[in-house]
Chains A and B, each alone.
Chain A
Amino acid sequence: MSVFRISYRYANSFFQLAEEKKSLKKFAEDVELIHNTLVQSKELRAILRNPVIKQKDKKNLLSIIFGPKIQKETSDFLEFLVTKGREEMITEIMKEFLNLRDDKEGIVKTNITSSVDLTDSVKKEIASKLEKKTNKKIKTEFEVDTNIIGGFIVQIKDTVYDASVKHQLELLRKKFSEEISI
């Protein structure tokens, strides 16, 4: 089975549990904590992936690291994942869980690239404009890239709104490379 399908299956069952308990927010906080820790700590990921380390040790390690900070259900879930031998996929499963939450709450991640640092008021304006356009809550991530020369690029999921000078110049070049019909 593909990584996507496995992670979706585990994440979805955990997500349903969270909804049943009506404490999605708390669960999501836990998951976010685990996800961020895993993303940041290369060592932890390496240990989880290592087949030489016994499952018991992995379980202990996880409960020592996260145990006090998360709810019992979450730490049970982690233990369950290790028992099932899916410990190397915890990062993907957590990511999938967050995606499910975002879908449920209508949150869309947006990546905005500009050539210069934007002021907070402009950022806010862009976010509110995009929210209006997509009818969803927008979670923005800003990036500065001088390569695009000027303007900005917004990426919402797979769709790109490209208003960068670089792209305009590329289009212009294409236009000129076409045969001139006089």
Chain B
Amino acid sequence: MAEIRPDEVTAILRKQLAGFDNEVDIYEVGTVLQVGDGIARVYGLSNVMASELVEFPNNVTGMVLNLEEDSVGCVLFGESSLIKEGDRVKRTNRVASFPVGDKLLGRVVNPLGEPVDGKGTVQFDKYMPIERKALGVIARQPVKEPLQTGITAIDAMIPIGRGQRELIIGDRQTGKTAIAIDTIINQKFTHTEEAKKYGIKPVYCVYVAIGQKNSTIAQVVAKLEEEGAMAYTTIVSAPASSPAPLQYIAPYSGATLGEHFRDSGRHALVIYDDLSKQAAAYRELSLLLRRPPGREAYPGDVFYLHSRLLERASKLSEDLGGGSLTALPIIETQQGDVSAYIPTNVISITDGQIYLEPNLFNAGVRPAINVGISVSRVGGNAQIKGMKKVAGSLKIDLAQYRELEAFAKFGSDLDKATQKILAKGARLVELLKQGQYVPIQVEKQVVSVFLGTNNYLDTIDVKIVKRFEKEFHEFAELKYPAIYENIRSTKELKEDTIQLLKKAADEFIEKFRK
């Protein structure tokens, strides 16, 4: 057995004590006047700043939200039952901030940056304030690089660019989180040597869980760990059991961490899951602070709550390093009501939305994206050329299909042209179906969409479209690997590749029939 010499222990203790000096400690204090419902009114603290962190007894921290003439209104990040009237409150001289640094990757932390994954203290570079003003016009440039989600339907028709804000909206149980998690998993490729070779820069992910069940968060963490995605991901967790103030600041904390990557010239993806719960948490504490309620009892500044958060997503100019912060906010609607207050607000702020429908979901179309009303306002510029080429007709084909689909239910005898459109549409819908946790590389997506839009599936039965697609990829990868290689390296679909692809398709269909 190894022995530990007492003098070694002494040395360690001495080292720990080295930075300790016993000078007079100067701090500012106030007294609790009133406490309850997660809010404390404090007398004193005359120099306190708005949104400064303050310390209460029993290790409870709070944040100053209301500065009044004779008192200060604080929200508590802990149990209000631990605090009594007359307790002493200490200033920390620190505006609510979040520790940032690369060491946070792979960790699960609460919105104050304290670890909740039991892996010891969090190592960090510095504290950054959670509320930062969004960048101005000069510091930005248009979105130009793609952020591949690995979901064919999205990457083909609703492309997302790095620095964009794309809303994921839908009822409960329609697969909103699944899209977000798939996107995180798909970023694994960007961290590989191969991606480096093709000039794809790594994307660091932050997943902010607001008002979710602890079990759900644990599941997400486990899944990401299983897929090896935690290496480049941080999870900011404010579960349903945490006090409303923590849920309220969680997205800002996540954005702060994302900005750390963006400002160092890298790319970040932040997912806010979900903002409707954050708005509810903010409503709770606004009402407790006696701010006047407005529509749906939300306070007047609930629009600003989300706009200032999402405005922080950006693509930096080359002078500033060209980093980006992509935001994927999630909103849960009630019974498909997108005209409620919070959904309309966030729809108007973001650069597009992915709309998920329970009807589609139940009909087995997963991801249940309603392509008709989902849009991406800026992502088109970011799409790779090859994808743009094949996806153009995809959207039109699907739109035509949807239009005729309703008619087809009534009539039996349809003309040839209509039948053709219906048959093609059904196959395209089938082609865009995709399992959870199986992101597809962009070159494969291009090939699949090419097959669909160029009528190669017309002779295949709808039920076996997926099998056909899978087997074709296996076949082409073996016999014509140049197709994928060309798309990957040039990011285009050139004429020679198309010829090759056509040849491969003809050859494979022949074989597949047998």
Contacts and interface: CB of A to CB of B under 8 A. Distances in A.
Given A167-B25, A182-B12, A158 B45 contact: yes
Contacts of A171: 20, 25
B73 to A, nearest CB: 13
Interface string A143-178: 000000000000101111111000110011001101
B121 interface: yes
A180 B12 contact: yes
A64 to B, nearest CB: 33
B225 interface: no
Contacts of A168: 22
A4 interface: yes
Interface in B1-48: 12, 15-17, 19-20, 22, 24-30, 44-47
Interface size class of B (residues with CB under 8 A): 20 to 34
Query: Majority SS of interface residues in chain B?
Result: loop
A2 interface: yes
Interface residues of A, number: 22
B69 interface: yes
A162 B25 contact: yes
A12 to B, nearest CB: 14
A43 interface: no
B13 to A, nearest CB: 9
Contacts, number: 53
B120 interface: yes
B16 A155 contact: no
Contacts of A172: 20
A2 B24 contact: no
Given A175-B20, A182-B15, A160 B70 contact: no
A120 interface: no
B47 A158 contact: yes
Contacts of A162: 24-27
22 contacts: A2-B69, A4-B69, A4-B70, A4-B71, A155-B29, A158-B28, A158-B30, A159-B26, A159-B27, A159-B29, A160-B26, A160-B29, A161-B24, A161-B25, A162-B24, A162-B27, A167-B25, A168-B22, A171-B20, A171-B25, A172-B20, A180-B15
Interface of B: 12, 15-17, 19-20, 22, 24-30, 44-47, 68-71, 120-121
